[in-house]
Each structure stands twice: as C-alpha cells, then as structure tokens.
C-alpha cells in the first residue's frame, strides 16, 4: 500500500513520514514481545529465547556492517547519478531489514498460534506502509522513471519477506524443537531494526516529538489489538 501511494498522492512531508515510522516502531516493538518473545518463553523457557534474541541481534549487526547500504531516511543531495546510487543503497537497506520481518511472520504461523501470527502480520503490514512510501518517493525524486516504475521499486524492496516467511514457517514446522530459538531470533532481529534503524532515523530531522508520540500510539494500538484478538 505504501509503495502504491506514489501513484495517487503527493510526496508526504518529512514530519508525516517520521510520525508514520514512529508509529511503525511502536507497532513492531509491541508485536515482537507479544507475538514472538513472550510466546517463545511460554513454549520453551527463558534460555532458548534469550539465545535466539542474542543471535538475531548479532546476525543483523553483522549484516548491517558487511552490506553497503543507507539508512531508512537519507538525503538526496548531490548529482543525479549520486542520488540514484543513494536510492539503490537505500533499497538494499529496506530489503535487509525486511528480511527478519518476513521470517518473523513465517515463524509466527509455523508456531501454530494463528492469533499471535495474525497480530504480527498486521504489525508488519502497518510498518511496511511508511517504508514503501519512502522507497517509492525517493525513487521518483531521484529520476528513476515515472510514478509506476517508482511504485514497482517500492514493491520489489518488500518481496524478500515472502520467501523468508515461507522458510520460517517450514523450518519451525519441520523441527518444532527449534521454535523457541526461532521466535527469539526473529524477535531479536526485529528489536535490532527498531533500535538501530527506525527510531534513530525518525529523530534526526527535528521531528522527535511527533515521532515519539507516534511510537506511543503504535504501542497502544497493538496492545489493544492483542487483547481484543487474543
């Protein structure tokens, strides 16, 4: 939905994007605990989940340092070719941090708890909207084709979630003993993305207050959904 918005609306202000990404951070933060970490502890105890969280964070940290990319909200100054390169590095960043989200959805469904899996899927769906908007409008601003092509670029960045969701569901279904570790791993990876990417980037352009309010609203919305659907 976020990527398709480039077809029908004007580019949102930076303040709006920061508020939406703040909301997404709150949604993901809550879902990582209510749908992954706490259910994982209930199933397999504290130690497997702690190990999984540590491995998930370490994996994302290594990927963050080894794979060249830009952060979620990047400037677009400089020559035209530099802007295009910046956008592609930005797309790599989005793809990199969409990977644990897809894995988290797959692990959620593979666990057999459809209520938690549905809540997690909704959380990541909320979070994908501002990200898709950011990718598509950045592509358009850099001159990478018309609006339709820019929307396809945004959609492409999120496609990595599909195979990883399928892999996550298959892995925990095939070997149920790894489920607590997998839930911890997915939760830890999501926490790393929230702390390293989303929250710092929303606080870098003078919109800290609206971004923080968005984060708090995201937490409240997901807690309400968890209670209502759980």
Q: What is the pLDDT of residues 7-65, one digit of tens each?
A: 555 666 778 878 888 888 888 888 889 888 998 898 889 999 999 999 988 988 887 77
Whether residue 144 contacts residue 12, with contact meaning beta carbons closer than 8 Å, is answered with no
Whether residue 12 contacts residue 138, with contact meaning beta carbons closer than 8 Å, is answered with no
- Cα(181)–Cα(116) distance, rounded to whole angstroms? 17
80 pLDDT above the threshold of 50: no
Residue 228 CB neighbour total at 10 angstroms: 8
Q: Which pair of tokens denotes residue 168?
A: 């996550």
pLDDT of residue 154: 58
pTM: 0.71
pLDDT of residue 186: 84
Minimum mean pLDDT among 37-51, 141-155, 185-199: which range? Answer: 141-155
Whether residue 84 contacts residue 142, with contact meaning beta carbons closer than 8 Å, is answered with yes
86 pLDDT above the threshold of 80: no
Taking residues 91-103, report their average pLDDT: 66
pLDDT of residue 17: 78
Question: Is 211 or 6 the better-scoring residue by pLDDT?
Answer: 211
Element (H, E) at 186: helix 179-193
126 pLDDT above the threshold of 90: no
- Cα(196)–Cα(198) distance, rounded to whole angstroms? 7
């Amino acid at each position: 939905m976020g990527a398709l918005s480039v077809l029908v609306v004007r580019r949102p202000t930076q303040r709006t994007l920061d508020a939406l990404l703040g909301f997404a951070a709150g949604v993901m933060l809550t879902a990582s605990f209510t749908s992954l970490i706490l259910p994982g502890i209930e199933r397999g105890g504290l130690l497997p989940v702690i190990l999984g969280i540590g491995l998930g964070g370490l994996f994302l940290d290594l990927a963050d340092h080894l794979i060249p990319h830009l952060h979620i909200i990047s400037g677009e100054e400089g020559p035209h070719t530099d802007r295009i390169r910046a956008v592609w590095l930005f797309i790599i960043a989005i793809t990199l941090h969409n990977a644990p989200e897809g894995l988290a959805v797959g692990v959620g469904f593979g666990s057999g708890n459809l209520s938690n899996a549905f809540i997690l899927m909704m959380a990541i769906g909320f979070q994908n909207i501002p990200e898709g908007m950011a990718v598509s409008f950045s592509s358009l601003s850099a001159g990478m084709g018309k609006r339709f092509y820019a929307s396809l670029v945004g959609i492409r960045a999120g496609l990595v979630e599909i195979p990883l969701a399928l892999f996550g569901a298959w892995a925990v279904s095939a070997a149920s003993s790894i489920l607590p570790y997998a839930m911890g791993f997915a939760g830890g990876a999501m926490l790393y993305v929230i702390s390293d990417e989303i929250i710092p980037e929303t606080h870098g352009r003078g919109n800290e207050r609206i971004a923080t309010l968005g984060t708090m609203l995201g937490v409240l919305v997901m807690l309400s959904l968890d209670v209502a659907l759980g």
